[in-house]
Structure 1
Amino acid sequence: MTPHIERKQPNELKEPEPEHCPGPESENAGKGDACNGCANQEICTSNILKGPDPDIPIINERLANISHKILVLSGKGGVGKSTFTSMLSWAISTSDEDLEIGAMDLDICGPSLPKMLGVEGESIHNSNSGWTPVYVSDNLGLMSISFMLPDSDTAIIWRGNKKNGLIKNFLKDVNWGDHLDYLIVDTPPGTSDEHLSVVNYMKDVGIDGALIVTTPQEVSLLDVRKEIDFCRKTGIKILGLVENMSGFVCPGCKKESLIFKPTTGGGKKLCEELNIPFLGSVPLDPRIGKCCDAGQNFFEDYSDSPAATAILDVVDAIRDQVELDEAMDKLNI
Structure 2
Amino acid sequence: MPTTEKPENAPEHCPGPSTEQAGKASACEGCPNKNICATTPKGPDPDLQIIKEKLSSVKHKILILSGKGGVGKSTFTAQLGFAFSSDENIQIGVVDIDVCGPSIPKIMGLEGEQIHQSLSGWSPVYVQDNLGVMSIGFMLPNPDDAVIWRGPKKNGIIKQFLKDVDWGELDFMLIDTPPGTSDEHLSIAQFLKESGIDGAIVITTPQEISLQDVRKEIDFCKKVKIPILGVVENMSGFVCPNCKGESKIFAPTTGGTKKMAEDMKIKYLGSIPLDPRIGKSCDMGISFLDEYPDSPACKAYLNIIEEIKQHFTKKN
TM-score of the aligned structures, taking structure 2 as reference length? 0.88
Contact 1:208–1:322 (CA under 8 A) maintained in structure 2 = no
Cα distance in 1 for residues equivalent to 2:249 and 2:123: 41
Counterpart of 1:170 in structure 2 is: 161
Secondary structure of 1:220's aligned partner: helix
Counterpart of 1:142 in structure 2 is: 133
- Evaluate the alpha carbon distance shift between residue 29 and residue 118 of structure 1 in structure 2; reply closer, same or farther with a 3 A threshold: farther
Contact 1:114–1:146 (CA under 8 A) maintained in structure 2 = yes
Cα distance in 2 for residues equivalent to 1:128 and 1:50: 31
Secondary structure of 1:213's aligned partner: strand
Secondary structure of 1:283's aligned partner: strand
1:127 to partner: Cα distance: 2.1
1:64 paired with 2:35, answer no
Cα distance in 2 for residues equivalent to 1:309 and 1:255: 16
Counterpart of 1:319 in structure 2 is: 309
Greater Rg by CA? 1
- Evaluate the alpha carbon distance shift between residue 220 and residue 127 of structure 1 in structure 2; reply closer, same or farther with a 3 A threshold: same
Matching residue within 168, 172, 177 for 1:187: 177
Matching residue within 218, 225, 234 for 1:228: 218
Matching residue within 243, 256, 265 for 1:253: 243
Amino acid at match of 2:221: C
- Evaluate the alpha carbon distance shift between residue 138 and residue 34 of structure 1 in structure 2; reply closer, same or farther with a 3 A threshold: farther
Matching residue within 114, 134, 154 for 2:105: 114
Contact 2:18–2:43 (CA under 8 A) maintained in structure 1 = no
Counterpart of 2:4 in structure 1 is: none
Cα distance in 2 for residues equivalent to 1:292 and 1:173: 28
Cα distance in 1 for residues equivalent to 2:313 and 2:198: 9
TM-score of the aligned structures, taking structure 1 as reference length? 0.84
Counterpart of 2:274 in structure 1 is: 284
Instruction: Give % identity.
Output: 62
Segments of structure 1 that go 5 or more residues without pairing to the other structure are: 1-25, 37-43, 328-333
Cα distance in 2 for residues equivalent to 1:50 and 1:208: 26
Matching residue within 252, 262, 265 for 2:252: 262
1:34 to partner: Cα distance: 9.8
Counterpart of 2:206 in structure 1 is: 216
Cα distance in 2 for residues equivalent to 1:324 and 1:125: 37
1:299 to partner: Cα distance: 1.3
Cα distance in 2 for residues equivalent to 1:100 and 1:181: 5
1:117 to partner: Cα distance: 0.3
Segments of structure 2 that go 5 or more residues without pairing to the other structure are: 1-16, 29-36
Counterpart of 2:9 in structure 1 is: none
Amino acid at match of 1:272: E
Secondary structure of 2:99's aligned partner: coil
Amino acid at match of 2:102: P
1:51 to partner: Cα distance: 3.5
1:50 to partner: Cα distance: 4.3
Counterpart of 2:121 in structure 1 is: 130
1:159 to partner: Cα distance: 0.5
Cα distance in 2 for residues equivalent to 1:138 and 1:31: 46
Cα distance in 1 for residues equivalent to 2:237 and 2:180: 24
1:204 paired with 2:191, answer no
1:218-265, CA deviations, whole angstroms, 9 ceiling, x for partnerless residues? 000001110110011111110000000001111122211000001111
- Length, aligned pairs only: 290
Secondary structure of 1:75's aligned partner: coil
1:52 to partner: Cα distance: 2.4
Secondary structure of 1:243's aligned partner: strand
Counterpart of 2:7 in structure 1 is: none
1:323 to partner: Cα distance: 3.0
Counterpart of 1:309 in structure 2 is: 299
